[in-house]
Amino acid sequence: MNTSLTGWSGWLLYAFAAAMMIFILTPILLVMVISFSDGYFVSFPPAGFTLDWYSKVLGNPEFIDALLFSTLLSLGTTLLSLLLGIPAAFALVRGNLPFADLCKGLLLSPLIFPVLITGLALLQLFTGYGWGNARLNLLLAHTVVTSPYVVRTVLTSLELVNPTLEEAARTLGATRWATFHQVILPQIAPGVVSGAIFCFMVSFDNYPVSMWLADSENTPVPVVLYRQIGTVFDPSVAAMSTLIILLATIVVVLLEKLVGLRRAMAA
């Protein structure tokens, strides 16, 4: 493949790509560097080295509670999105739906709709019905936003599955469930896994929906962090951010190991 990137124009492209990598990585690495700074205010260059901000953050019950809450919320959102999304993707590919394209467009449309407005519309819905359970409201709202990712990744995997295998399984006497479980699921596993990881990531990182629906007892991590950025000016905010970056790194490594980044993003 590396036929066209030779000579000075090739080096120019590589240099440009390197500059873009610096642009992308600098804000993230800087946050990590500042989190070790031994000064009362965030500043560059960092003043000395300390781990105090980490002990402050890990001893902050607000942050720990948010971390726990966000993890549970994202897991719940992922589960609900898979439960709703996998069957829907299956129906789109195998269902001979009369308006398959329209249905697909409808199910994927939350992806292009401004997420902030999705959150506001749901705030209006929930207050209108007097639904005061912030946990349930957040779970439902996050699922609205994340389920399209499952539909899209599973759809892409399913389109690659040969339907004659399912027919063979059915002809040989397998039940519908056995066919799904033993024939289809193993083949669409990469799509399911990347869909699940996208759901977890999008839910865990979400701010514009959660900002409308969180209450004082059920606050996801990004909402706590946003509040801290406006009120706290010491490097503890950077330490908090670094912990979130570490979590994100784990998720990315998981995605790369299980599916491969290229393949996951192609969906």
Partner 1 sequence: MAEISAPLPRSRMAKRWQSPALLIVPLLAFQLFFFFAPAIRLMLFSLMTQTPQGDIGAPWTFSHYLHFFSVALYSDILWNTLRISLITALIAAVLAYPVAAVLVRGNALISRILTLVIIAPLAVSVVVRAYGWQLILNNGSTGLLNYLLLHLGLVDRPNALMFTEWAVVIGSLHIFFPMMVLPLASALGKIDPALPFAARTLGAPPWQVFFRITLPLTLPGLAAGMTLVFSLAAGSYVIPALTGGPRAQMLGNLVEQQIVAVYDWPFGATIATILVVIVIAVNTLSMKLLGGSRLPGAGK
Under rule CB under 8 A, which residues in 165-194 are in contact with partner 1? Answer: 176
Shorter beta-carbon distance to partner 1: residue 160 or 265:
265
Shorter beta-carbon distance to partner 1: residue 171 or 262:
262
> Binding partner 1 by CB under 8 A: which of 52, 113, 132, 167?
113
x/- track of binding to partner 1 for residues 114-133 (CB under 8 A): xxxxx-xxx-xx--------
Compute, in degrees rounded to 10, the torsion defined by CA atoms 157, 160, 164, 165: -50
**Is position 205 an interface residue for partner 1 (rule: CB under 8 A)?**
yes
Pick the closest to residue 109 from 156, 150, 148, 155 (CA basis).
Answer: 148
| Helical axes 185-205 vs 134-159, angle rounded to 10° | 140
Q: Applying CB under 8 A, which part among 49-57, 59-67, 103-111, 185-193 lies near partner 1?
A: 103-111
Q: Is 64 left (phi over 0), alpha (psi -120 to 50) or beta?
A: alpha
**Is position 25 an interface residue for partner 1 (rule: CB under 8 A)?**
yes
x/- track of binding to partner 1 for residues 1-20 (CB under 8 A): xxxxx---x--xxx-xx--x
**Is position 144 an interface residue for partner 1 (rule: CB under 8 A)?**
yes
**Is position 164 an interface residue for partner 1 (rule: CB under 8 A)?**
no
Q: Applying CB under 8 A, which part among 51-59, 167-175, 188-196, 198-206 lies near partner 1?
A: 198-206
How far apart CA 181 and CA 244 sit, in angstroms, is: 35
> Given 3-state DSSP classes, what are the helix, strand and coil percentages for the chain, each rounded to the nearest 5?
75, 0, 25
Pick the closest to residue 35 from 236, 243, 247, 245 (CA basis).
Answer: 236
Residues 220-249 that bind partner 1 (CB under 8 A): 221-222, 225-226, 229, 237-238, 241, 244-245, 248-249
> Binding partner 1 by CB under 8 A: which of 58, 68, 97, 189?
97
| Helical axes 134-159 vs 115-129, angle rounded to 10° | 130
User: Phi and psi at residue 205, in whole multiples of 5°?
Assistant: -90, -10
